[in-house]
Structure 1
Amino acid sequence: MVISSEIAKKAGIQTEPVAIVWSNTKPEHALEIRPGTWACLMWYYAKAVLDGKITALSRDSFGCCGGAIGIGFGRPFETHSSGNEDNFCCFLSNGRDGCTDIEAFDARLDAISNPHQKEMLKEGERIKKNPGVAKEFLNVLPHYDVPTKYVLFKPFSLTQPDEMIKSVIFLANPDQISVLSILANYPRGQIIDRVVVAAGASGCQAFGVCTYNEELSENPRAIVGLTDLMARKAVRRTLGSDKFTFSVPYSLFLEMEANVPGSILDSELWIEIRDGS
Structure 2
Amino acid sequence: MAIMSEIAKKSGLTTEPVAIVWSNTKPDHALEIRPGTWACLMWYYAKAALDGKVTALSRNSFGCSGGAMGIGFGRPFEKHSSGNEENFCCFLSNGREGSKDTDAYDSHLNGITNPHQKEMLEKGERIKKNPSVAKEFLNALPFYDVPTEYVLFKPLSSTDPDELIKSVIFLVNPDQLSVLSILANYHRGQITDGVVVAAGAAGCQAIGVCTYNEEHSDNPRAIVGLTDLMARKSVRRTLGSDKLTFSVPYSLFLEMEANVSGSILESELWIELMNGA
* Partner Cα distance (1:77, 1:117) in 2: 15
Name the residue aligned to 1:135. Answer: 135
* Partner Cα distance (1:37, 1:190) in 2: 43
Look up the SS of the partner of 1:44 in the other structure: helix
Name the residue aligned to 1:170. Answer: 170
Look up the SS of the partner of 1:103 in the other structure: helix
CA deviation after TM superposition for structure 1 residue 2, in Å: 6.7
Consecutive aligned runs of 4 or more in structure 1 exceeding 6 Å deviation: none
Unaligned runs of 5+ in 2: none
Write the mapping of 1:73-222 to structure 2, written as runs, cut at 5 A.
Answer: 73-222=73-222
* Partner Cα distance (1:52, 1:269) in 2: 31
| Residue type at the aligned position of 1:39 | A
Query: Does the alignment pair 1:270 with 2:267?
Result: no
| Residue type at the aligned position of 1:187 | H
Unaligned runs of 5+ in 1: none
Residues 38-74 of structure 1 show CA distances to partners (whole Å, capped at 9, x for unaligned) of 1110110011000000000000000000000000000
| Residue type at the aligned position of 1:234 | S
* Partner Cα distance (1:124, 1:238) in 2: 27
* Partner Cα distance (2:219, 2:187) in 1: 11
* Partner Cα distance (2:241, 2:29) in 1: 30
CA deviation after TM superposition for structure 1 residue 236, in Å: 0.4
* Partner Cα distance (1:94, 1:175) in 2: 36
* Partner Cα distance (1:168, 1:187) in 2: 19
CA deviation after TM superposition for structure 1 residue 31, in Å: 0.3
Return the TM-score normalized by structure 2: 0.99
- Matched-pair contact (CA < 8 Å) for 2:194–2:222: yes
CA deviation after TM superposition for structure 1 residue 237, in Å: 0.3
| Residue type at the aligned position of 1:145 | D
Return the TM-score normalized by structure 1: 0.99
CA deviation after TM superposition for structure 1 residue 162, in Å: 1.5
Residues 123-175 of structure 1 show CA distances to partners (whole Å, capped at 9, x for unaligned) of 00000000000000000100000000000000001101221000000000011
* Partner Cα distance (1:3, 1:60) in 2: 30
Q: How many residues align?
A: 277
Look up the SS of the partner of 1:132 in the other structure: helix
- RMSD over aligned CA atoms reads 0.7
Q: Percent identity?
A: 82
Write the mapping of 1:219-258 to structure 2, written as runs, cut at 5 A.
Answer: 219-258=219-258
Look up the SS of the partner of 2:89 in the other structure: helix
Query: Does the alignment pair 1:25 with 2:42?
Result: no
Query: Does the alignment pair 1:63 with 2:63?
Result: yes
Look up the SS of the partner of 2:35 in the other structure: coil
Look up the SS of the partner of 2:236 in the other structure: helix
Look up the SS of the partner of 1:107 in the other structure: helix
| Residue type at the aligned position of 1:163 | E
- Matched-pair contact (CA < 8 Å) for 2:17–2:169: yes
Residues 192-239 of structure 1 show CA distances to partners (whole Å, capped at 9, x for unaligned) of 111000000000000000000000001000000000000000000000
Query: Does the alignment pair 1:259 with 2:259?
Result: yes
* Partner Cα distance (1:87, 1:190) in 2: 40
* Partner Cα distance (1:106, 1:237) in 2: 36
* Partner Cα distance (2:185, 2:128) in 1: 30
Name the residue aligned to 2:7. Answer: 7
- Matched-pair contact (CA < 8 Å) for 2:2–2:160: no
* Partner Cα distance (2:210, 2:91) in 1: 21
| Residue type at the aligned position of 2:24 | N
Look up the SS of the partner of 2:218 in the other structure: coil
* Partner Cα distance (1:44, 1:185) in 2: 29
Look up the SS of the partner of 1:126 in the other structure: coil
